[in-house]
Amino acid sequence: MGRLSGYRYRDIIQILKRFGFEFYRQAAGSHEIWHNSLTNMYTTVPNHSGDMPEGTLRAILKQANIDVEEFIKSK
């Protein structure tokens, strides 16, 4: 298991809120768009049950311009 394994949707959303992200709109299916008005960054977060795949979480963090280490520390 990698360092980004074991994170659920709720955990990810709580941490994104600490980084200044707010719910922006519902996207296709069970996906949501989150926006940070300070950095003007958008990220798409799938709202699925269970743990988020590590690759998906890395893509979310890349879109949000959040360093993996900062994300892990803010847990």
Residue 27 lies in a domain: yes
Give the pLDDT band of residue 2 (cuts 50, 70, 90): confident
Q: Which single residue is written with the structure tokens 């959040």?
A: 66
Instruction: Yes or no: say if 46 and 66 are a contact pair by the CB < 8 Å rule.
Output: no
Residue 1 lies in a domain: no
Residue 17 lies in a domain: yes
Q: Mind listing the pLDDT tens digit for each residue in 23-59? A: 999 999 999 999 999 999 999 999 999 999 999 999 9
| CATH number where 67 lies | 3.30.920.30
Domain that holds residue 69: 9-73
Residue 29 lies in a domain: yes
Residue 2 lies in a domain: no
Helix (H, G, I), strand (E, B) or coil at 43: strand
The count of domains in the chain is 1
Q: How far apart are CA 65 and CA 2, in angstroms?
A: 20
Residue 3 lies in a domain: no
Higher confidence at residue 75 or residue 74?
74
Residue 64 lies in a domain: yes
Q: How far apart are CA 10 and CA 23, in angstroms?
A: 13
pLDDT value of position 75: 81
Residue 18 lies in a domain: yes
CA quadruple 58, 8, 47, 13: dihedral sign: negative
Instruction: Yes or no: say if 7 and 52 are a contact pair by the CB < 8 Å rule.
Output: yes
- pTM here? 0.94
